[in-house]
Homo-oligomer: A and B are copies of this chain.
Amino acid sequence: MTNIPDSHPRKSSLLSRLKMVDGAKRGLLADSAMIAHGRGEAYDYLLGEKTTASASLAIREAAARLLHAKRPVISMNGNSTVLAGAEAIKIAAVVGCPIEVNIYYRTKERMTRLVEELETIREDLLDSSPPEEKDSISGVEILGLVSDGRIRGLEGPRSFCSADGIEKADVVLVPLEDGDRCEALIALGKEVIAIDLNPLSRTSRTSTVTIVDEVSRALRGILNELSSKPEPSPWDNDSALRGALEVMRNAHMRI
């Protein structure tokens, strides 16, 4: 994509930025997606661009709850698809759950592009996977094009979802969610596992489990944890958010 030397201390952040620029050119992103990504960059900078101790606990809890859910689903938007589409599909393959494309600024064109993008990523993964993993990867459903479900409590296109995905799910893993939708899902009695770099956002404060971490690091972390088959715990989400804030507040001491 470009030549950033391995030694560059912020290589991973710069590569993500390039993925976003590329994703925008390919029409996968909303107009304001790059701005949202920039906000994430700033918060991640304050986190030191690595997974904190409290985020590691949240990642483990997320893996546990996905494994113990009756009907888990992973909700993906433009940014999360561009930044970590492959990781999401790998998690879905291990958990045995569908992926649903669900976006805030819903257009048929972008929905189709994102479903196709995830299907392409799934094919690429299939080609590079060992034989014993191929069935589970090819079995990952990519939902979203058929809006036969509704998220009660929301109005208009933002209420659209898949009946076999978010509507019936008991646990929703949703990277980069907006506050309204998060609140609506919680009000419906679902568990929401959010990945959000801003520990002060409404989504962070509303979700059942908030992973304050960059989306590709968080999803890779969940994937790693799945293999250890963790058990759900009583979860104190406020404590996780305080942990993230504490790291951010001390950012000035790291420079």
Contacts and interface: CB of A to CB of B under 8 A. Distances in A.
| Chain copies in complex | 2
Interface in A199-255: 199-200, 245, 249, 251-252, 255
A255 B200 contact: yes
Contacts of A40: 38, 42
A3 interface: no
Contacts of A251: 200
Given A245-B252, A249-B249, A42 B32 contact: no
Nearest to A198: B42
A99 interface: no
A40 to B, nearest CB: 7
Contact of A17 (B17, B35, B37, B200): B35
A199 B36 CA distance: 20
Contacts of A31: 21, 24
Nearest to A43: B42
A152 interface: no
Contacts of A45: 39, 198, 200
Given A34-B34, A34-B35, A200-B251, 14 more contacts: A34-B37, A35-B35, A35-B37, A38-B38, A38-B39, A38-B41, A38-B42, A41-B42, A42-B198, A45-B200, A199-B252, A200-B252, A245-B252, A249-B252
